[in-house]
Amino acid sequence: MNLEQALEKLFSLHQFGIKLGLENIQKLLNKLGNPERSIKTIHVAGSNGKGSTASFISSVFMEAKYNTGLYTSPHLIKFNERIRINGEIIPDDFVLKFMNDLNDYIDVHSPTFFELTTAMAFQYFADKKVDIAIIETGLGGRLDATNVLSPLASVITTISEEHTNILGDDLKVIAAEKGGIIKRDSNVILGSIKNEPQKVLIDLAIKRNSQYFLLEKYADYQNDAVLIDIGNEKINISNLPLFGKYQLDNAALAVLTVSVIKPNINNDTILNGLKNVIPNSGIQARYEVYHDKPIVIFDAAHNLDGVKEFLSEFRKRTKDNYRKTVIYGTMKEKNYSSILSELNDNFDEILVTDINHERAASIDEIIYEANISKVKVSALYEPAKYVNEFISGNKPEILVVLGSIYVLGEIKKKLLNN
């Protein structure tokens, strides 16, 4: 296979959908000689903020001169974005060789796209002898393909309703699924999680004899900053390159995680890691100001809690007299009727779009839910063209592209091609 054929084969594995469970990934990793056993890892799960938190952790380790791997999903524009070492994406040559080496295995055993991609990441990190790898879960935790690790720490960012068709619609049940990444005799770092979900996770940590750390015990929020007191010296986090109070939470959780694992990293290095998170990790679509005049913002808020957090920051940063339009696209499993109601309260116009993806909600499906909620929306079939025309108009207006990172990625890819 050449690279194009290899990627086509890899993406064709989406046909096997989501297979929760570890049997397939364990067989695949056994075939590869279990590369996951030779790398030190930090495992990150959560309903919101896990990609940003993983990126902050990775960036701090990079600033401290650790050879650092980062595995996140999904990618925005190019597949290789999912797997990085020291900020550099996995090279095409490695992807091609990996796919060719496993060609016959894939034909016989039919691993899913995510299982094969996870195995590729572990193999790459092992071959390149990373000092540490930050691994983001895909969906859930307990039965996620990444949950074959014995990490130095398990990090859980937030718990909210998402993937209810798979994880359930009870926050305690969702917490138990996310908490499946907690391992025996390890470390557990918990973010902004309250009440029953927090109790579920603490009980799991205690049951597995793991030491747990609650962000609320170490963080002191002061307006647009947070002070982390880790015992030796306080670290003041402010003026992050990623906007929003929720990013303060993510950065604070990252700092606490690093301090638990490597308490000898000095504060200047930690703060430089937070400051350089975008170039170090390649993170995109987190309140990303894609264009300044007129303003175009990309944000991958994909569930109700994430959208509420985005809108809270959006209201702070925008002028009331500007006309506001949002382009929204989502996956089927999201609670998009409630999200549409939130958008309706904050935008003058809602345009809904979709992409060719087996999990994407179609324009007609979104419009159907909007009609039930009595929210006025309009279909948008060429969102990239609309964004380009909006930018050319240069009017005192604001455009937000919001929703699934898959949708945002398709739009951005077309914009870059143009």
Structure tokens given for 376: 């006025």
Angle at the Cα of 312 (from 376 to 334), degrees rounded to 5? 55
Q: pTM of the prediction?
A: 0.92
With contact defined as beta carbons under 8 Å apart, do 156 and 100 qualify?
no
How far apart, in Å, are the Cα atoms of 197 and each of 157, 175, 204, 217, 259? 12, 5, 11, 17, 24
**Alpha-carbon distance 320 to 161, whole Å?**
31
Domains contained in the chain, CATH given: 3-281 (3.40.1190.10), 288-417 (3.90.190.20)
Cβ within 8 Å of residue 245, ≥6 positions away: 221, 224, 309, 312, 313
DSSP category for residue 360: B
Q: What is the pLDDT along the chain (418 residues), one digit of tens a residue?
A: 899 999 999 999 876 566 667 999 999 999 999 999 999 999 999 999 999 999 999 999 999 999 999 999 999 999 999 999 999 999 999 999 999 999 999 999 999 999 999 999 999 999 999 999 999 999 889 999 999 999 999 999 999 875 444 455 689 999 999 999 999 999 999 999 999 999 999 999 999 999 999 999 999 998 889 999 987 678 999 999 999 889 999 999 999 999 999 999 999 999 999 999 999 999 999 999 999 989 999 999 988 989 999 999 999 888 778 999 999 999 887 778 899 999 999 999 999 999 888 788 999 999 999 999 999 999 999 999 999 999 998 788 999 999 999 999 999 999 988 7
pLDDT of residue 164: 47
